[in-house]
Amino acid sequence: MTIHKEGYKTIAICAFVFALLNLGSFYFISFDEPWLSWLIFLISLALLLFIISFFRVPSRKLTVNDNCIVCPADGKVVVIEEITDEEYFHARRIQVSIFMSPANVHRNVNAIGGEVIYSQYHRGKYLVAWNPKSSTENERHSIVIKGNRGEVLVKQIAGALAKRIVNYLSVGQSIKQSEEMGFIKFGSRVDTLLPPDAKVKVELNQAVQGGVTVLAEW
């Protein structure tokens, strides 16, 4: 397991606060109230470890298969439905949404390999991620990848806690399946818009892993 580069600054700040807090506790509280000093240490250590866990990148055997579309994020499948996409395709598509809790891995990966043909950042609200309107009204970044078998749109969507979306792809870039696409700080939601004839391989409430679990087949 490694720590994602997006976490370096946040973890450094939290570690600095942790050190200051516990030094102050040691000098001003520990002599009279040692139990309180220990309590402060344990709570602040738990919070620091939790922050570090936000930015973990576990070692995994990734799925690379031209016949498959992989999950772009870790989390739980909360939506599988047919919709009319108004952003890019302007046609019917199957939407599969993955909710990322604060406990999930927050790195996002490419659902398929191919060429990035669309990249658009949208300003918006910060509705809770399970609100259906979050797909179209929240801050989000949309990417369309054109592969050998078709095109897939992936949306990184901000939520009530996630206030920063990072996307590393650009139009014209050639990318590989399951490699890193971006990062959403502190969880939220990732939508994948599939062709209407795609065969969905996940179920509602299923826990999935980005770059590992097969989301659908062409």
Q: Specify if 63 maps to a domain.
A: no
Confidence of residue 135 (pLDDT cuts 50, 70, 90): low
Which of 27, 68, 53 is CA-nearest to residue 218?
68
**What is the three-state SS of 122-187?**
ECCECCCCCCCCHHHHECEEEEEEECCCCEEEEEEECCCCCCCEEECCCCCCEECCCCEEEEECCC
User: Which residues have a Cβ under 8 Å from the Cβ of 60 and sit 6 or more positions away?
Assistant: 209, 211, 212
Judgement on whether residues 44 and 101 belong to the same structural domain of the protein: no
Q: Which of 68-77, 92-101, 182-191 has the lowest mean pLDDT?
A: 182-191
Judgement on whether residues 168 and 189 belong to the same structural domain of the protein: yes
Give the pLDDT mean for 44-61.
90
Q: State the pLDDT at residue 124.
A: 64
Give the pLDDT mean for 154-169.
80
Confidence of residue 139 (pLDDT cuts 50, 70, 90): confident
Q: Is 96's pLDDT higher than 90? A: yes
Judgement on whether residues 14 and 51 belong to the same structural domain of the protein: yes
**Vertex 214: Cα angle to 62 and 212 (nearest 5):** 25
Q: State the pLDDT at residue 165.
A: 85
Give the pLDDT mean for 80-85.
94
Confidence of residue 130 (pLDDT cuts 50, 70, 90): low
Six-digit token pair at 212? 């590992």
Judgement on whether residues 48 and 88 belong to the same structural domain of the protein: no
Which of 121, 112, 99, 102 is CA-nearest to residue 181?
112
Segments forming the whole domain that contains residue 15: 2-57
Judgement on whether residues 179 and 115 belong to the same structural domain of the protein: yes
Give the pLDDT mean for 98-114.
91
| Percent helix / strand / coil, the chain, rounded to 5 | 20, 35, 40
Percent of the chain at pLDDT exceeding 90: 65
Q: Is 190's pLDDT higher than 90? A: yes
Pick 189 or 138 by higher pLDDT: 189
Parallel, antiparallel or unpaired: strands 75-84 and 207-208: antiparallel
Mean pLDDT score of the chain, rounded to an integer? 89
Judgement on whether residues 98 and 167 belong to the same structural domain of the protein: yes
Q: State the pLDDT at residue 69.
A: 97
Judgement on whether residues 47 and 88 belong to the same structural domain of the protein: no
Give the pLDDT mean for 108-121.
96
From 25, 134, 142, 188, active-site residue: 188
Q: Specify if 51 maps to a domain.
A: yes
Six-digit token pair at 207? 């826990």
Q: Which of 95-109, 117-131, 133-147 has the lowest mean pLDDT?
A: 117-131
Q: Specify if 10 maps to a domain.
A: yes
Quick count: other Cβ atoms within 10 Å of Cβ 171?
12
Say what the alpha-carbon torsion angle 29, 34, 39, 42 is, to the nearest 10 degrees. 100
Chain centre distance of CA 71: 11
Percent of the chain at pLDDT exceeding 70: 90
Q: Specify if 62 maps to a domain.
A: no
Query: pTM for the full model?
Result: 0.85
Confidence of residue 23 (pLDDT cuts 50, 70, 90): very high
Order of strands across the sheet that contains 165-167: 107-109, 180-184, 165-167
- Residue 25 is among the residues annotated as catalytic for this protein: no
If one counts the domains in the chain, the total is: 2
Q: Is 202's pLDDT higher than 60? A: yes
